[in-house]
Structure 1
Amino acid sequence: MIPAVENYNGLDTTFQVTEDCNLRCKYCYEVDKKPGDLPFEYAQKFIDIILTDDDPINVRGTELEWILQQGLILDFIGGDALMVPELVDKILHYFQYQAVKMKHRWAYRWRASISSNGTLFEDPKVRDFMMKYKENLSIGVSVDGCPEIHDKNRIHKDGRGTMKDIQKWWDWYLEWHGIDNVATKATCNKDTIPYLAKSIKFLHEEMRLKHVNINFIFEDMHLTQDDLDLLDKEMEKSIEYILEHRTDLYVSMFDKGFGIGGPLKDPDKGWCGSGAMPCLSINGKIYPCFRFSPNTMHSRKLDFYVGDVWNGLNHKERFEIVRQQTRKKISPEKCLTCEVESACAWCIGGAFAEKGEFYRQTNICEVHKLQSKWSRRYWEEYDKLEGTKSFDESGKVIL
């Protein structure tokens, strides 16, 4: 398997530029969609806060202090951020102007990132915006796999599938991004299981993707044993295909790290970057990451914010509260001794959105166990074919 696309390191800031979306994807965790865009003056104030606060995420004196010395990522999310390209353009222009004027270390060390559903490239304003920022902009398009499953889950408001809309401008998108650097995000739910292997093949052969980031949703899918048995077979077929195309295909579901083995690697850490990724919501409040923003909460009464554009980051300590929700602290006993625990992901914000408390979701255990099983099998077979060594004498993966 080829290496994953390298991530750009630094402070990740998120702007929720709109709550609106032109699609109604069935598994979307934004449970409370409402028309409404981010006021530009809120974005200006947020940028001013980030540029003038010496420690916006409360990491000075910790092992995360390096984040502040790297670049800045400006991540734009919706809904779909490409519904408001002119607003995103204004925000980026303001950031550049302010950073250069201040001679800030991030003035020439920044990147912008957008996740899109891929149906909006036909708008000339969107394409003009993309061309303007081509050197500093990354746009990832969500494609869930073959049309049978993509068009079942990623749909227009009237229920129509969206695959044809994406394919219409796909060649233009690949040329704009550069085919070697394009990485899609494919989301799986229970309906995906019978199509998993077919979807990976479709994304590689029909959509010409070399990097496929694919994962199951964290919400409870209510899987039966029959579902898990079928998933087991689909994962087996998937790794057979990936092995055949190992020189030009990366699939994140079978990354070497998921076959790691051994419980509780870094027990005093969490899984993701939540707690160090300030997110501005359209309401003017700032959250520890996007999954704490109001339209992802199962109740809008849940409001765990770290500041706002009027008072700055006046609750910075909440960044640290999120970071303190470590594997060791919030894992139930069965996780602490599980042989695949260190390869098991969870979403701290998604869990908080459901119950208003910090806990580790365990409804995804069986899926992760299968993922770890077949990741390990993939790398064992890869070693036989390539004469490499992916595991040490104790059976743990060599990363």
Structure 2
Amino acid sequence: MHTSFGLTLVVNHACNLRCSYCYTGEKIRRPLPLQMGCKAIDRAIRSLRPEGALELSFFGGEPLIEAELVLDLVNYARSTASRQGVRLALSMTTNGTIDSPAAWSVMTLPELELAISHDGLPGVHDGQRATVDGLPSSARVQNTMTRLIDAGREFRVVMVVQPFNVDTLPDGMEYLNSLGVRRFDPSLNLWTTWNQSDGERLKVSIRRAADFWGERLPECSVSWFDEKTARATGIPITKTARCGFGHGEIAVTPAGNLYPCERLVGADEPDNPMRLPGNVLDGDDFLTAASLPDIWSDDCAPCNLRSLCNTKICRCSNYIRTGDVNRPDGLLCLLDQACYQETIRVLESRFLSSN
């Protein structure tokens, strides 16, 4: 039995945007049946110890296309978790362009960890995140963020970073911060090619982003550096079921198929090598997966940051980059090392200036 369990429900494959770097496959209209979603919630809760925590996430496509379904699933999870004495945590990432009453009700759920995708500068965002009709989407997302800020609703912004826009990341953070955004979650595009020159530009961008973060502490949060701060200073990190990769974490598709991580679902094709055995309707719990061994690579042996490294945690990222869940590549190591080094630099600078 698990103390926490991560369940991601892919509530559809459809989306109203056509982002150039999207990895979720064909945008077909295939909503998750309510009965199947409830069955997945039941199985996840039966996999938990008493007083455990269900970490329930919603994914797509664009999950708010199915906002009414999400609300129904949240209500079911709340009542079932309450009866079983289980704590419930909710999360969702949305493209921020759907503003229906039901979508607003989802985004303002009090226990929901809300993330909105926006790539920073409007021109950068619109160059990669157009609507089905080819229209820009930045203004619509900004309207949603402004509405949430005016309502006092906390959220974080996911900014996809790739060779195309890596130089603009700090400027994009500055721009969004001027709108009132305080929490930033940069996310590397792992599905594209990064060459050595791109890596050097990434390091420069990380340094500038760290300066942005340091100048605005503690009002602003940047995930790349917040996590490193906690690890470097020994601050306890809240344990999560994320990155369980099939052991304590399952993604369920509209067809009822099971995956170790939602990022590996794609269009849920029959030949997807990452699909797990069985169907969500076939069992009573998710306890059959064996514990995962620690990731270890001989290439990691000389690294001084090995004990603080994230690349040994996320098997999904490793698989995307190398085809091997246990082997990171140079891009992931570069990101981890640069973020740690810049975090220490900024913290030392702030400490010295305060003394």
TM-score bucket of the superposed structures, by smaller chain:
0.7 to 0.9
Matched residues in 2 for 1:296 and 1:367: separation?
Answer: 30
Amino acid corresponding to residue 125 of structure 2 in structure 1:
H
- Residue 166 (structure 1) shift: 0.9
Question: Number of residue pairs matched?
Answer: 341
**Paired residue for 2:342, among 355, 370, 374?**
374
Task: Supply the AA of the counterpart residue of 2:166.
Answer: I
Are positions 1:48 and 2:42 aligned together?
yes
Higher strand share: 2
Q: Show the counterpart of 1:257.
A: 228
Question: CA distance change for structure 1 residues 228 and 293 in 2, over 3 Å: closer, same or farther?
Answer: closer
Q: How does 1:136-215 map to 2 (within 5 A)?
A: 136-176=111-151, 178=152, 181-206=154-179, 208-215=180-187
State the TM-score, normalized to the length of structure 2: 0.83
User: Shift in Å at residue 244 of structure 1?
Assistant: 2.5
Which one has a bigger Cα radius of gyration?
1
- Structure 2: distance between partners of 1:182 and 1:348: 26
Deviation readout 1:260-293 (Å, 9 max, x if unpaired): 78xxxxxxxx993333212221111233332343
Partner of 2:70: 88
Gaps of at least 5 residues in structure 2 are 233-240
How do 1:103-122 residues align onto structure 2 when only pairs under 5 Å count? 103-106=83-86, 109-121=87-99
SS class of match (1:272):
coil
C-alpha distance in structure 2 between counterparts of 1:10 and 1:251, whole Å:
25
- What is the alpha-carbon root mean square deviation over aligned residues? 3.1
Q: Secondary structure at the match of 2:24?
A: coil
Give the direction of change, closer, same or farther, for the CA distance of 1:173–1:296 in structure 2 (3 Å limit): farther
Question: How has the CA–CA distance of structure 1 residues 169 and 219 changed in structure 2, closer, same or farther, with 3 Å as cutoff?
Answer: closer
Q: Distance in 1 between matches of 2:259 and 2:29?
A: 20
Matched with 1:396 is none
CA shift at 1:218, angstroms?
Answer: 2.8
2:12 to 18, 26, 43: 18
Shift of 1:36: 0.8
Instruction: Give 1:185-334 correspondences, 5 Å limit.
Output: 185-206=158-179, 208-225=180-197, 227-255=198-226, 257=228, 272-274=243-245, 275-293=247-265, 295=267, 300-305=271-276, 307-312=278-283, 316-320=287-291, 323-324=292-293, 326-328=294-296, 331=297, 333-334=298-299
C-alpha displacement at 1:356, in angstroms?
A: 6.3
Q: What is the CA-CA distance between 1:361 and the residue it aligns to?
A: 2.7
Alpha-carbon distance, 1:251 to partner: 1.4
| 1:172-191 residue CA offsets vs partner (Å, 9 max, x unmatched) | 22244x35x32222221111
* CA distance in 2 between partners of 1:160 and 1:359 (Å): 40
The alpha-carbon deviation at position 99 of structure 1 amounts to 4.4
Would you say 1:125 and 2:102 are equivalent positions?
A: yes
- Give the 3 Å change call, closer, same or farther, for CA 249–40 of structure 1 in structure 2: same
How high is the sequence identity, in percent, across the aligned residues? Answer: 22
Contact 2:33-2:254 within 8 A present in 1 as well: yes
Describe the SS at the equivalent of 1:359. Answer: coil
| TM score, norm. by length of structure 1 | 0.75
Provide structure 1 residue ranges, at least 5 long, that are not aligned to the other structure: 1-8, 57-64, 262-269, 388-399
Contact preservation (8 Å) 2:322, 2:328:
no
CA deviation digits over 1:93-130, x for unaligned, max 9?
A: 33344445xx3102xx3232221011112x23322454
Kept in 1, the 8 Å contact 2:190–2:320? The answer is: no
